[in-house]
Amino acid sequence: MSRVVVIVGATSGIGRATARAFAERGDRLVLAARAAETLAEVRAECPDVDVLTVPTDVTGPGALDALADAAVDRFGRIDVWVHTAAVMAYGRFDELPERVFDQVVRTDLLAAAGAARVALRHFRATGAGTLILTNSVLGYITAPYMSAYVASKWGLRGLARAVQQELRDSPGIRLCLVNPGSVDTPVYRQAANYLGRIGRPPPPISGPQRVARAIVDCVDRPRREISVGRLNAVMRVGFTVVPGLYDVLVGPLMRLAGLSGQSVAAHDGTVFAPNPAGEAVRGGYLPDLRQLARSLPGPAGAVLRRRLG
């Protein structure tokens, strides 16, 4: 029997790739994000499954409760809740407007906590369910010019660990924390920016489909946490074992690899409102291998298509 999967943040990046991945498995979907028009596009990308779209601002009072109620009204239950909604802001901490910093924390940490609270309430009523929170390698290390995002992700990791401890008496309910490194999504260009240079994902970069596969796999094989990114472990070791050296290097590396040379005027990005024109699965930092596979004739294309699913 197909599962009922709620995906919050479903219109762009990891969330949109995750919606497609669950749709390919035949699961029934409840897709939530701020932009109703983009939700309609994602629904059209999942044509063979039953999909409910619920325009949702996760920071709105009662919005997550209303989302859960809509899912239960339509499908009778919730089996999986995936929370990927997040915004980002670049800027020195003392130069980032307080309202921007607070809204990033409100979206990335407090709304994730609210989603967990709502999902766990439903799971406890049935005795089973899987909650998947999307965190970041920046929940384990730090980087300059991203203070609001880093603070939120460190807080989310602490929250997840505490809740996992509380769930030890509920073996049918699982909380999984997925920690991507750099991912090819539009979030960097959509970020608020008070630094003057547009951000970008530092290499090595993973595709959003890779993170989506890890999320789907967490439903079949639940784990406390999973890391997606080739250098995540190396960065975590460096941050912990040689913190002085890490702090010397991280600033120059961030300016070299994590920021583009393109200048930009100060703006709020999508912190307070969505930008449907900028929403997509990919950010354009990696070649689209799926499109390449479709264009390649003969055995080479067939092999690549099989490898990419």
In the sheet where 80-83 sits, what is the strand order? 51-55, 28-33, 4-8, 80-83, 129-134, 173-180, 225-228
DSSP bridge pairs for 134: 178
Determine the residue type at 57.
Answer: D
| DSSP-assigned letters across all residues of 196-254 | SEEE-PPSS-B-HHHHHHHHHHHHHS--SEEEESTTHHHHHHHHHH-HHHHHHHHHHHI
DSSP H helices in the chain = 13-24, 36-44, 63-75, 98-105, 111-126, 147-166, 187-190, 208-220, 232-241, 243-253, 289-295, 298-308
Is 90 among the catalytic positions? no
Q: At what angle do helices 147-166 and 98-105 cross, to 10 degrees?
A: 30
User: Which is the catalytic residue, given 140, 149, 188, 194?
Assistant: 149
Contact predicate 54/67, CB 8 Å? yes
Catalytically active residues, by annotation: 149
